[in-house]
Amino acid sequence: MGSLSEDRRARVILSSVAEPGDRRIGRLLAEHGAVATVELLSSANFDPALHARCAARLASADPEADLGRVDAVGGRFVIPGDLEWPSQLGDLGDAAPWALWIRGAADLRMSALRSVAVVGARAATSYGTHVASSIAADLALSGWAVVSGGAFGIDAAAHHGALAAGGVTVAVLACGVDVAYPPRHDSLFERIAADGVLVSEVPPGAVPHRTRFLIRNRLIAALTRGIVVVEAALRSGALATAHDAARLNRPVLGVPGPVTSAMSTGVHRELRAGALLVTNAAEVIEAVGELGIDLAPEPYESSTPRDRLDLLSRRVLDAVPTKRGLSVDSIARAAGVAPAEATTALALLELGDFVRFGESGWVLRR
Amino acid sequence: MGSLSEDRRARVILSSVAEPGDRRIGRLLAEHGAVATVELLSSANFDPALHARCAARLASADPEADLGRVDAVGGRFVIPGDLEWPSQLGDLGDAAPWALWIRGAADLRMSALRSVAVVGARAATSYGTHVASSIAADLALSGWAVVSGGAFGIDAAAHHGALAAGGVTVAVLACGVDVAYPPRHDSLFERIAADGVLVSEVPPGAVPHRTRFLIRNRLIAALTRGIVVVEAALRSGALATAHDAARLNRPVLGVPGPVTSAMSTGVHRELRAGALLVTNAAEVIEAVGELGIDLAPEPYESSTPRDRLDLLSRRVLDAVPTKRGLSVDSIARAAGVAPAEATTALALLELGDFVRFGESGWVLRR
């Protein structure tokens, strides 16, 4: 760690003494740089309230120990200007992270370039987890990284879907990248580290608070090209993330569900408020991808031979019986067309194998 | 029938000799009136093609018999200018009906004034029929008439829902008002006639064709203030009706469903193309009702006492343990706030019964 720059060291300290997303500290950082910001926080005179808030953590800050911990799990500490830094985080302005703790085989910057957030309820239904994992798998198969929050329910289904398809998935955590929270996601996080990336703003060992989850959400929004909400009750962290995305001008997409399901109520409210309804990965990619390049195919509509008939022929065809044959005049009358028109139409319909002239007159061909 | 006006008699003839929606005949009617139009159709010289098309039916037209038939089932024949004529049918221009055959206890004009079309797939799922009947029932309870096409599936569920709620429902048929098509809807149509209205453009005894169903759809659209599509596959007559409604500037609303259901695919496509997503009758009424009068309540969001805390108090609360108590300094440090801030926040949280000071320090109150 001899070559550790002063700026990098100061950012390690900042990540352990200040809560992520603090705009006051973001402004100090932008104005004075990381080293001076740490000095200002350490001074009891510059801003006594701010100092009081950080003093205890500053006294026990141990940047070398934090770096050693991330090193021990094969992780890394990344700051603005590093090759792996996702420059779109600058869209967060004063609330941008001052550094990221990263663990995993994939490169965060490269993964995030073509990435979509797939988020939703923890208490998801089987419908929701099915749809989340299948959309995530299809996104992965199309070369898109799937970003989510590592929580139960939709988040986990999205990560699993991307991994199952051999794709890259990014879990943005509210705890340290060496902490399994929720603990039952231990093996999921190991799989993500093996093929994707775990990311956090807080140092190794840090535990998640409720407010950290909310503040973490802005990173999910900022890293990605758009966000898909799969299931969300009216009170849902996923909707908070969607609002973060909307503030950052990222498209907000929603997957509908039964109107009888409370887990779709929040999504339906967003769709009524202007979010885009999507039903599959192709529609997601069309919405977040390059204009004119990533177009979703139209839902497949099979056309029948009958569709290719003109209105008059269709009318005549409607009037032809299935069993006892009818004369041209009877058919013309039933169809409301002239006998001569019926004669022409029937001849064409016979050529097309729609009708045949049987013993008692014209009948449908089966 | 001695007082039967010439105009009325000519319109009975027109309804039996020309197919509904024929714009050429609609223009003749607008320009020359009904009596002259029948004369022009009868002339072999005026428009030979048109004459050929109508000649056979004209020869056998029997307006008195048709009127007798509708009389026999307690029905009536209504033309523009009659009290029961729904004037909004004029929005159809040249394609407006020249007359309507009506059967039922309710008044068509009054019913249609505050009416919504609820339509959808014949091969509906149990989800779709459940939602259609419950939306129709709630519309009926709010004083709205439910208009539909009398078909299996969503249509039937909509009619049944409105009837079950003691409301008025209107079935717009492609056959005569004395014909039960589909035959299994015999008793449904009897119930509709008892409490609502059966309407048709074609005379009693007339059988439906496929093209008549499509042409009938424009009436469903024109009669109502807006249309709700509950379930529809990609190829669905309900979507044709929705497009008719859009052309008439009636709002098109759609009820979402699982993206895994083929019966919702057509609805989702309409929603992606700009139709409004609705999840209940209140949202339907808001969309089709009077501006500012018929407002849907916001989906109910319960707020918790925690929601009313400021960010700092919430941070402090997050840092308070459930079991072994912690000191103010430990909590301040975990929360990233100054010890003095934590002291104030803890005092307020204690007043609010969120926390208590136990033997070993501050703990959460359960």
- Chain B residues with beta carbon closer than 8 angstroms to that of A276: 272
pLDDT at A89: 96
Q: What is the DSSP string of B121-154?
A: -SS--HHHHHHHHHHHHHHHHTT-EEEE---TTH
Q: What is the mean pLDDT of each run of 10 residues along chain A (366 residues)?
A: 78 93 93 96 91 90 96 96 96 95 97 97 96 97 97 97 97 95 94 97 90 90 97 91 93 97 97 96 93 67 73 87 88 87 87 85 86
- Chain B residues with beta carbon closer than 8 angstroms to that of A259: 131, 255-257, 279-280
Cβ distance B170 to B147 under 8 Å? yes
Amino acid code (one letter) for A120? G
Q: Do A271 and B257 touch (CB under 8 A)?
A: no
pLDDT at A242: 94
3 state SS of A1: coil
Q: Do B318 and A209 touch (CB under 8 A)?
A: yes
Q: Do B18 and A336 touch (CB under 8 A)?
A: yes
3 state SS of B59: helix
Interface probe with A: pick from B239, B279, B330, most Cβ of A within 10 Å: B279
What does pTM read for this prediction?
0.85
pLDDT at B2: 42
Nearest to A131 among B127, B259, B279 (CB): B259
pLDDT at A300: 60
List b or e across B105-126, with b for residues whose CB sees 16 or more CB atoms inside 10 angstroms.
ebebbebbbbbbbbbbbbebbe
Residue B232 falls in which region: left (phi positive, over 0), alpha (psi -120 to 50) or beta:
beta
φ and ψ at residue A273, rounded to 5 degrees: -90, 0
Nearest to B272 among A277, A302, A315 (CB): A277
Nearest to B127 among A258, A318, A335 (CB): A258
Q: Do A19 and B315 touch (CB under 8 A)?
A: yes
Residue appearing with tokens 């402004």: A27
Shortest alpha-carbon distance between residue A32 and chain B (Å): 22
Which of A296, A246, A249, A248 shows the shortest CA–CA distance to A273? A246
Question: Alpha-carbon Rg of chain A, whole angstroms?
Answer: 30
Beta strands in B209-347 (DSSP E): 227-229, 252-254, 276-277
Chain B residue closest in CA terms to A22: B336
pLDDT at A1: 39
Q: What is the DSSP string of B320-342?
A: S-SSS-B-HHHHHHHHTS-HHHH
Nearest to A277 among B54, B258, B271 (CB): B271
Q: List own/partner pairs for A293-300 with CB under 8 A and 24 or more apart.
A: A299/B234, A299/B265, A299/B269, A300/B234
Domains of chain A: 6-61 (no CATH), 87-288 (3.40.50.450), 305-364 (1.10.10.10)
DSSP state of A335: H
Residue appearing with tokens 């929606």: B21
Q: Do A268 and B277 touch (CB under 8 A)?
A: yes
Shortest alpha-carbon distance between residue A302 and chain B (Å): 8
Q: Do A268 and B258 touch (CB under 8 A)?
A: no
pLDDT at A86: 97
pLDDT at A148: 98
Shortest alpha-carbon distance between residue B344 and chain A (Å): 13
Distance of CA B107 to CAs B101, B103, B110, B243, B323, Å? Answer: 12, 9, 5, 27, 70
Q: Do B333 and A57 touch (CB under 8 A)?
A: yes
Cβ distance B266 to B243 under 8 Å? no
Shortest alpha-carbon distance between residue B81 and chain A (Å): 27
Nearest to A49 among B18, B131, B338 (CB): B338
Shortest alpha-carbon distance between residue B194 and chain A (Å): 31
- Chain A residues with beta carbon closer than 8 angstroms to that of B337: 53
Tokens of A322: 């299935």
pLDDT at B103: 98
φ and ψ at residue A183, rounded to 5 degrees: -55, -35
pLDDT at B170: 98
pLDDT at A293: 66
Q: Do A256 and B260 touch (CB under 8 A)?
A: no
Which of B85, B66, B58 shows the shortest CA–CA distance to B206? B66
Shortest alpha-carbon distance between residue A111 and chain B (Å): 28
Q: Which helix (H) or strand (E) holds A111?
A: helix A108-113
Q: Do A257 and B259 touch (CB under 8 A)?
A: yes
Q: How many CB pairs under 8 A join A and B?
A: 138
- Chain A residues with beta carbon closer than 8 angstroms to that of B329: 56
pLDDT tens digits in sequence order for chain B, 366 residues long:
345 799 999 999 999 999 899 999 999 999 999 999 999 999 999 999 889 888 889 999 999 999 999 999 999 999 999 999 999 999 999 999 999 999 999 999 999 999 999 999 999 999 999 999 999 999 999 999 999 999 999 999 999 999 999 999 999 999 999 999 899 999 999 999 999 999 999 999 998 888 888 889 999 999 999 999 999 999 888 999 999 999 999 999 999 999 999 999 999 999 999 999 999 999 999 999 876 667 677 666 566 777 778 888 888 998 898 888 899 898 888 888 888 888 888 888 888 888 988 888 899 987
Give the whole-angstrom CA distance, residue A258 versus residue B227.
19
Q: CA B276 from chain center: how many Å?
A: 12
